[in-house]
Amino acid sequence: TQLLEQSPQFLSIQEGENLTVYCNSSSVFSSLQWYRQEPGEGPVLLVTVVTGGEVKKLKRLTFQFGDARKDSSLHITAAQPGDTGLYLCAGDRGSNYKLTFGKGTLLTVNP
């Protein structure tokens, strides 16, 4: 059973379109991280959300943590080809070390 369900798994869109990636669970998380990974590189941390209902913005990216801290979303406005990559959500259940990763969303933004 996948603890963190991430959707969609694949997304191919045109430059300028908007998109939303979802990360859902039946479990409560102490925090949730979003990473972006480009080919040949390691995951790069985009944001950490901690408080239920929290919204964080990073330029054209908006991250939201659900009120019950069981789900999160990433919304990208006016996607650019440079946004292409594997987006990973990862939750922390307070275990000190262990991140539970979603399966990832492979985003391709076509020029």
Residues in contact with another protein by CB under 8 A are 30-31, 33, 35, 40-45, 48, 50, 86, 88, 90, 92, 94, 96-99, 101-104, 106
75: CB partners within 8 A, 6+ apart: 18, 19, 20, 21, 61, 62, 63, 64
A 10 A CB-CB count for 34 gives 25
CB of 24 to another protein, least distance (A): 15
CB of 10 to another protein, least distance (A): 9
Question: What 3-state DSSP class applies to 85?
Answer: strand
Our CB check for another protein shows the closer of 28 and 45 to be 45
